Structure formats: C-alpha cells, structure tokens
C-alpha cells in the first residue's frame, strides 16, 4: 500500500542504539497510517535484528547479508512504499516534529526534490551537544558555478538523517555503486540538490558521535583515516558522471567537486601510491579546475611535461618531485614558459 512517507533506517551492529532510533520515528506527530518505518539490517551479528522485531508489525525489518551502506540502500529503497523517503542511520535519532516539518515543507514547495535541515551533534561519552544549522532557510541548486559553491557551505544540512527526498528522485540514483561501504548517502544528497532542494534552519535530528562511527574518525587512527579518504574519493568518482547525466552544467560540477576531489586524490596518491593513470587524471582535473582559459603554451606544458611525468614516475615519487619543485619556487619558470618568454 502506497503511503505518503517511508522512514528508511539502515543499521548494522547498532544494538546499543537502534531502539532509540526506531522509537524516535514511531513517536513522531504523524498518524501511523501516514508513514511506514522500514529498517534495513546490513548483516548484523549482534542483537540488532531481535530488538527491531520487538516493534513489529509497526516496523518492517529487511535483513540482508553484510555489504555496506550502498548495498543497504539498493536493497531497501525499492521496498519503500512511501512517496517520500526520510533517511536515518541506526545510531542516530529524530527530534520531535521532524517528519511534520519536512512533509509540510515538501507540500508547500512542490518544485523541490527534497528537504534538508540542521542537526544536533551529540558526543556519546561526554554528552556535549553542538548545533549545526544555517541561520535561515535556503534553496539550493546546481544551475551555476556560484550556486554550486553555495551548496558547499550547506553540506552539513544534507547529512544522513537530515534529508528527506521524493521517491521518484531517489530511484534515479539506483543502483548506488556498492564500493561505497559508507557515505553512500552523499550521491543521493547531491542528486537532490541537482534537482532542487530546500534547507530548513531548524535542527531536527541528533547525530551521535561515538568510537565506532565510520564517517567520523580519530586523526591518530591511520587505517580508519585512509578508509574514510578512500570512500570520499570513490564518492566523488560516482558523483561526477551522475551529475553530468542529470544535466548539471559541467562548470557547476567542476565548482562543486574538483577542488576537494583533487585534494583527497593527491593525499591518497602521495601517501599510499596508486596507478599512474589515477595521478594523470588527478593533475589534469586540477588543471581544468584552476585554469578556465590557459592558452596553448601553458596547455602544452601541462600535458607535455606534467602529464608525461605522472606516467613516467610512480605516484609517490611523482609527488615527492612535485613537492621539491614547489619548495624551490620553480613555478616562476613555468609561468615564463606559459607567457612565451
């Protein structure tokens, strides 16, 4: 039976938290007939499924083999019966009135594909709470490069748990590449912005920061930092062709993604190595982002010298040489070459 809204909760080994997440959805001030709650359990090995089953039949449980967040979305979204899908992680929870606020906003603004909002960040150990929210509501799109840059400032309001999207838009994002073990909500959020989104200034959900967060890591934990960086790099690789397929202007995609994408790709290549092709793609992406009309001489330098160097040297060696080049301010010779002197 089609309903106005589906609350989709993805979870894996959240036995300490899942009950609070589910109850926060059940206790929303909407009629039970207006929304369903669908929990996708991504192969938990603890008591998470048993806890969720306590809430049946009000809560529907979909269990699957462990595969990560993207695989959970790919399994759960086609099962959603609502015209609108509100997302929530199993270790977070909704604030009272969340669903009413976002559904009212969608009804008042039929032109937008989804609604985001602020949130409370709660430290699980200290219980310290920080509010993240825009000072006023804002409409977002990717129609121009300047609009894309404004979206970067509003990204926290498109955090998992902070956005609600019309199902017709969500379905266009499927299948999400299952290499995205986490951060799989990012392509959905950006697709929503591409189609037009409204961000409310209200904080309407609680994000729990705890030791097992996959997307909030301790800088001293090199293994988890690397995994986080790799997920971001993969997410950018997914977003670039997806946004272009949606008709987002190339200049807007560059403004939204390329500076951050270049930074994270360089960091991974410099520290851990990788393919020469990846290094070439990264440097050419940086070139296109930084220079909109570089001229023939500078283009020849970039493609003929820098491009050749990325293919000649292993990435870690290439970036050592690049750093050496930068420390000695040798760029002045490049600029003279570019100007034809």
Q: What is the full per-residue pLDDT of the chain (341 aa) written as tens digits?
A: 567 999 999 999 999 999 999 999 999 999 999 999 999 999 999 999 999 999 999 999 999 999 999 999 999 999 999 999 999 999 999 999 999 999 999 999 999 999 999 999 999 989 999 999 999 999 999 999 999 999 988 888 888 899 999 999 999 999 999 999 999 999 999 999 999 999 999 999 999 998 777 666 566 678 888 999 999 999 999 999 999 999 999 999 999 999 999 999 999 999 999 999 999 999 998 888 777 777 777 777 778 888 999 999 999 999 999 888 777 665 555 555 554 44
Please give the DSSP secondary-structure letter assigned to residue 176.
P
The domain ranges of the chain are: 3-209, 222-338
- The whole-number pLDDT of residue 214 equals 66
| 3-state SS assignment for residue 6 | strand
Q: Tell me, what's the pLDDT at 341?
A: 44
Q: Residue 263 and residue 257: Cα distance in Å, rounded?
A: 10
Assign 185 to helix, strand or coil: helix
Identify the bridge partners of residue 131 per DSSP, sorted by sequence position.
120
| Structure-token match 């017709």, residue found | 168
User: Does residue 250 contact residue 244 with C-beta atoms inside 8 Å?
Assistant: yes
Q: How many CB atoms lie within 10 A of CB 190?
A: 28
Contact assessment for residue 114 and residue 191, using Cβ atoms and an 8 Å cutoff: no
The tokens for 237 are 């690789």
The torsion angles phi and psi of 9, rounded to 5 degrees, stand at -110, 120
Give me 60's structure tokens.
Answer: 């529907």
Q: For 3-209, CATH number?
A: 3.90.550.10
User: What is the structure's pLDDT at 336?
Assistant: 55
């Amino acid at each position: 039976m089609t309903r106005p809204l589906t609350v989709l909760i993805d979870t894996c080994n959240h036995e300490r938290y899942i009950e609070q997440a589910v109850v926060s959805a059940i206790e929303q001030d909407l009629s039970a007939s207006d929304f369903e709650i669908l929990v996708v359990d991504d192969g938990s090995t603890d008591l998470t499924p048993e806890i969720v089953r306590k809430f049946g039949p009000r809560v529907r449980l979909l269990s699957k083999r462990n595969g990560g967040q993207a695989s959970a979305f790919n399994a759960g979204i086609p099962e959603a019966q609502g015209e609108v899908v509100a997302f929530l992680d199993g270790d977070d929870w909704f604030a009272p009135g969340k669903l009413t606020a976002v559904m009212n906003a969608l009804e008042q603004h039929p032109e937008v594909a989804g609604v985001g909002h602020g949130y409370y960040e709660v430290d699980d150990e200290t219980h310290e709470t920080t509010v993240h929210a825009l000072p006023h509501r804002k409409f977002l799109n990717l129609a121009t490069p300047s609009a894309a840059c404004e979206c970067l400032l509003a990204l926290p309001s498109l955090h998992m748990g902070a956005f609600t999207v019309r199902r017709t838009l969500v379905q266009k994002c499927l299948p999400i590449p299952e290499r995205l073990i986490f951060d799989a909500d990012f392509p959905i959020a950006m697709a929503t912005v591409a189609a037009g989104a409204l961000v409310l200034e209200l904080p309407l959900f609680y994000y729990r920061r705890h030791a097992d967060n996959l997307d909030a890591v301790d800088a001293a934990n090199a293994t988890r930092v690397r995994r986080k960086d790799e997920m971001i790099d993969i997410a950018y690789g997914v977003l670039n062709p997806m946004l272009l397929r949606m008709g987002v202007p190339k200049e807007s995609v560059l403004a939204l993604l390329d500076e951050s994408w270049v930074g994270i790709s360089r960091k991974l290549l410099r520290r851990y190595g990788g393919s020469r092709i990846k290094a070439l793609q990264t440097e050419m992406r940086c070139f296109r982002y930084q220079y909109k009309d570089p001229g023939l001489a500078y283009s020849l330098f970039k493609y003929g010298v820098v491009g050749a160097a990325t293919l000649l040297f292993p990435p870690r060696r290439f970036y050592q040489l690049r750093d050496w080049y930068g420390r000695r301010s040798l760029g002045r010779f490049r600029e003279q070459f570019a100007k034809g002197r």
